[in-house]
Amino acid sequence: MNFESEYRIRPNQQVSLDTIETRTRGPFERKSDGKAVTEENVKVIRDLQYRMFVEREQSLLIVLQAPDAAGKDGLIRKVLGKMNPQGCRTYPFKVPNETELAHDFLWRIHHCTPSKGKVAIFNRSHYEDVLVVRVENLVPKSVWSKRFELINDFERILTANGTRVLKFYLHISPEEQLERFKERLDNPDKHWKLNAGDYESRRHWDAFHRAYEEVFQKCSTEDAPWYVVPADRKWYRNAVVSSIVAKTLRDMAPQLPPVDVDLDEIRQLYHQAHARQQESS
């Protein structure tokens, strides 16, 4: 199964989230089959990340958006966070502070985009400015409605400089979310995550779906596509996202750069050093 093609939203595609399944196991008969695919993908991703890091020509930006408890943190812990931390950073975007609010909404985001050779993972992103901001009426429609085009402009600036942009929406059902809230209640180590506001957000479930659908239609571009990933099953979510990241890195085909040193000279230096070592010991 080609997950990349299966779950990519085409430019201008009308999406109806309510009709996209959340609980599928795709082509996998057993959970262990999905886990094996993820494990293999992680190895590929690590190898290609290393090549990209050394090459220093391209970069990768991974945007994660999802309802609460849909698994952004788990995905980072189990899959994306397996990359070498020297070339990969995660950035959480919370409520903007006073300085950030005094700038345009993309200012703080731009600061965190990956430099050449690097990977950045956004835990929430500039898309909140057309999602929660819209649903909770934090700015007037006249403001947020212009942002879809501004986001496309911004992402074009990134892709023009060699950054691949992948945007994942982790798609869970309200039933699965409630189940996960229950797990938090049952586990004292997770009580710090509890928040009455989570239940309040559930009342806006449909409004968020409508807001996401407009995002997908307007901001899934050829160069910076959105993927809607069935996420009720964590192992399936991991298999799908890791497959898409691995495929993308393969397409980017980072190459170890040609050696710009004189190998013979280095070999000679090595032999000299080796000879000195022998003498002194």
- CB distance 114 to 61 below 8 Å: yes
Of 123 and 163, which CB lies nearer to its own copies in the complex structure?
123
Interface with its own copies (CB under 8 A), residue from 95, 102, 160, 261: 261
Of 182, 164, 145, the closest CA to residue 245 belongs to 164
Task: Please report whether residue 275 would count as binding its own copies according to CB under 8 A.
Answer: no
Of 116, 121, 112, the closest CA to residue 83 belongs to 121
Tell me the H-state helices in the chain: 3-7, 31-55, 72-78, 98-101, 107-110, 132-135, 141-144, 147-160, 174-186, 196-202, 205-219, 234-252, 263-280
Find the part of the chain contacting its own copies (CB under 8 A) among 34-42, 82-90, 130-138, 242-250.
82-90
Residues 143-202 that bind its own copies (CB under 8 A): 174-175, 178, 181-182, 185, 188-189, 191-192, 194-196, 199, 202
Q: What is the contact mask toward its own copies in residues 104 to 123, using x (rule: CB under 8 A)?
A: -----------------x-x
Of 138 and 178, which CB lies nearer to its own copies in the complex structure?
178
CB of 273 vs its own copies, minimal distance in Å: 6
- CB distance 120 to 78 below 8 Å: no
Residues 4-63 that bind its own copies (CB under 8 A): 54
CB of 51 vs its own copies, minimal distance in Å: 9
Q: What residue ranges bind its own copies (CB under 8 A)?
A: 54, 73, 76-77, 80-81, 83-86, 88-90, 92, 121, 123, 174-175, 178, 181-182, 185, 188-189, 191-192, 194-196, 199, 202, 256-257, 259, 261-263, 265-267, 269-270, 272-274, 277, 281
